[in-house]
Amino acid sequence: MTRIVRKHLVAAIVLAAATATGPAVQTASAASAKTLQAATEALRAGGKTLVGPGVYTRQANIADFAVQLTQDTDVCGTVTLIEGDGVQLAMKDAANVTTQGVAASATLRTAAGCADLTRNVELMCTGAVPCIAVWRVDAR
């Protein structure tokens, strides 16, 4: 993907986040929009990327599947918090048990980890306020 296409894709994502309505979406400030663009470019897809980068916006303490795999896969996940108190990325096995979890916060903005035999990857904003985060999942 060329740099110009990525720039327009990120701008469209920021615009969608800023203009969407409903309780599940938080608007990005101007400063956060620049951070969002930088994080999305830093996490751009590589040779082993399964999915992402993706932008996650959600109310606090509601979990969502980011990836549901059809077979057990060894994966690594990365998440960067843009706005909010925190975000968790959980890698789960076929029984939906978390085998590895990582959390980004206001102190530690980016977190990454790997897990074997992963079937699902789940994201959840933590803390008292909604969050905006960028994430990516790669094959190990």
Per residue in 78-124, pLDDT (tens digit) is 999 999 999 999 999 999 999 999 999 999 999 999 999 999 999 99
- Residue 44: pLDDT band (50, 70, 90) is confident
| Domain spanning 3-139, CATH class | mainly beta
What lies within 8 Å, CB to CB, of 61 at 6+ separation is: 124, 125, 126
- Residue 43: pLDDT band (50, 70, 90) is confident
**pLDDT digit string (tens) for 52-76?**
899 999 999 999 999 999 999 999 9
Residues pairing with 87 in the sheet: 104, 125
pTM: 0.74
Query: 3-state DSSP call for residue 51?
Result: strand
What lies within 8 Å, CB to CB, of 36 at 6+ separation is: 10, 13, 14, 17, 28, 55, 82, 132, 134
* Helix axes 30-42 and 3-19, enclosed angle (nearest 10): 140
